[in-house]
């Protein structure tokens, strides 16, 4: 047979095996197709045994195979007609364009492991309806555009959708090795307001997370349920609770915070956590200051001071401590070389206190002094 005279006259649309696979709706549609063609040898219809080699491409000319070649040995050709079963896998069952290249040789006893003598027939034949029809019965699953991976998006019998998984555990189950979800707001920066919202059955929004206002720089977590709190867990431990009334508890466990900030545990302060927070059994307020000999405030806040006469000063607490709640107060005079001074309180009230400074002989004298007042808030 002279290869220059070989030609494929027709390639039927090929019956796709939908009926054979139809009984189980959960079963993915097969990719096997029946290919029937007509082969002429010159002016005569070919007959006898022939070997056929089929290759699948994504382009009409040149390019590379999109699937391993399929070779069929010892095909009986009768009056030019031959029929073969081909299966290129998911590379065939795709919405992308596919072209089929057919090569043929008369059977000489060689098997498909030896491609000697195969002659490709031009042109490649475009497969259109067949791949689309093969994929149609798999409507419960979407494959990637090039056929791999299969089942990229999958819907099970309960309507659960899996992306990257064919066994979704929830109504939407996304499975991937890296970041699995990106929310991209394509508005301008001034108009972006991307967030995830939660609705109840009414439907009414009950919570949301994200940038709720266009252009906002604040990332917000919002719980709109009446009396709803924001709760943060690390494993089984509740580590932070932000209550709807504004109270915040850190390390309170199941307990409700008893103040605007309730911390159960040590509090570290300073750039390297080298300081401990002051602890007390009461809610205390501390006022401290340094007063000049003339009655001026050298440092400190939360108080006023005046000098009424030599060595006599009046300190006023601003604001005053709670009525009837007298603070504990200490005073000390600044030492001067060669002189000794004695500082003492002269009546301490919730609103203020008097201070007297004397020298070693008991005479009232003006002198710099320090004080500390500690009382309840």
What confidence category does residue 95 fall into, taking pLDDT thresholds of 50, 70 and 90? low
Q: What sections of the chain are H helices per DSSP? A: 18-21, 129-136
In the predicted model, what is the mean pLDDT of residues 259-282? 90
In the chain, what is the greatest distance between 2 CA atoms, to the nearest angstrom?
Answer: 143
Q: Is the pLDDT of residue 239 over 60?
A: yes
Among 91-100, 107-116, 263-272, 282-291, the minimum mean pLDDT is found in: 91-100
For 337, phi then psi, to 5°, come to -55, 125
- Alpha-carbon distance of 173 to 140, in angstroms, equals 15
CA atoms within 13 A on the CB side of 299: 2
Same fold, 3-136 and 284-376: yes
SS (HEC) of 170-181: CCEEECCCCCCC
Least Cα distance to 343 among 327, 328, 360 occurs for 360
Least Cα distance to 41 among 74, 73, 75, 79 occurs for 79
pLDDT tens-digit map of 155-198: 988 999 999 999 999 999 999 998 888 888 888 888 888 889 99
- Alpha-carbon distance of 207 to 244, in angstroms, equals 13
- Rounded to a whole number of angstroms, the distance between the first and last alpha carbons of the chain is 110
CATH class of 3-136: mainly beta
pLDDT tens-digit map of 194-226: 889 999 999 999 999 998 888 888 999 999 999
What confidence category does residue 357 fall into, taking pLDDT thresholds of 50, 70 and 90? very high
Among 6-15, 113-122, 159-168, the minimum mean pLDDT is found in: 6-15
Residue ranges covered by each domain of the chain: 3-136, 189-276, 284-376
pLDDT at 27: 43
Q: Is the pLDDT of residue 3 over 50?
A: no
Q: Is 251 helix (H, G, I), strand (E, B) or coil?
A: coil
Q: Which one is predicted more confidently, 75 or 147? A: 75
Q: Which residues contact 339 (CB under 8 A, 6 or more apart)?
A: 359, 360
pLDDT tens-digit map of 78-90: 999 999 999 988 7
CATH architecture for the domain at 284-376: Sandwich (2.60)
pLDDT at 12: 32
Among 139-153, 157-171, 254-268, 354-368, the minimum mean pLDDT is found in: 139-153
- Alpha-carbon distance of 193 to 371, in angstroms, equals 54
């Amino acid at each position: 047979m002279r290869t220059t005279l070989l030609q494929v006259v027709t390639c039927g649309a090929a019956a796709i095996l939908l009926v054979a696979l139809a009984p189980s709706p959960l079963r993915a549609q097969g990719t096997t197709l029946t290919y029937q063609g007509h082969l002429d040898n010159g002016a005569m219809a070919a007959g006898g045994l022939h070997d056929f080699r089929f290759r699948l491409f994504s382009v009409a000319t040149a390019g590379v195979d999109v699937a391993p070649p399929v070779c069929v040995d010892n095909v009986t050709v009768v009056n030019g007609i031959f029929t073969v079963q081909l299966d290129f896998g998911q590379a065939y069952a795709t919405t992308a364009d596919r072209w089929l290249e057919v090569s043929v040789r008369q059977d000489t006893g060689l098997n498909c492991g030896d491609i000697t003598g195969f002659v490709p027939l031009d042109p490649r034949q475009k497969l259109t309806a067949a791949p689309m029809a093969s994929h149609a019965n798999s409507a419960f699953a979407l494959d990637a555009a090039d056929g791999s991976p299969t089942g990229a998006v999958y819907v099970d019998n309960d309507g659960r959708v899996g992306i990257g998984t064919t066994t979704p555990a929830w109504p939407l189950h996304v499975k991937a090795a890296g970041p699995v979800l990106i929310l991209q707001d394509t508005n301008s920066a001034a108009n972006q307001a991307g967030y995830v919202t939660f609705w109840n059955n009414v439907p009414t929004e009950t919570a949301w997370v994200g940038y709720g206002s266009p252009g906002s720089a604040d990332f917000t977590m919002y719980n709109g349920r009446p009396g709803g709190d924001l709760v943060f867990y690390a494993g089984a431990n509740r580590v932070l609770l932000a209550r709807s009334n504004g109270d915040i508890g850190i390390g309170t466990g199941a307990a409700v915070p008893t103040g605007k900030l309730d911390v159960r545990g040590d509090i570290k302060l300073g750039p390297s956590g080298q300081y401990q927070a002051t602890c007390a059994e009461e809610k205390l307020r501390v006022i401290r200051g340094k007063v000049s000999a003339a009655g001026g405030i050298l440092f400190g806040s939360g108080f006023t001071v005046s000098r009424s006469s030599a060595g006599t000063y009046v300190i006023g607490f601003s604001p005053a401590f709670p009525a009837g709640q007298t603070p504990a107060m200490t005073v000390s005079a600044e030492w001067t070389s060669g002189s000794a001074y004695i500082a003492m309180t002269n009546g301490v009230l919730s609103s203020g206190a008097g201070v007297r400074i004397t020298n070693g002989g008991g005479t009232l004298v003006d002198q710099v002094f320090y004080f500390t007042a500690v009382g309840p808030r």
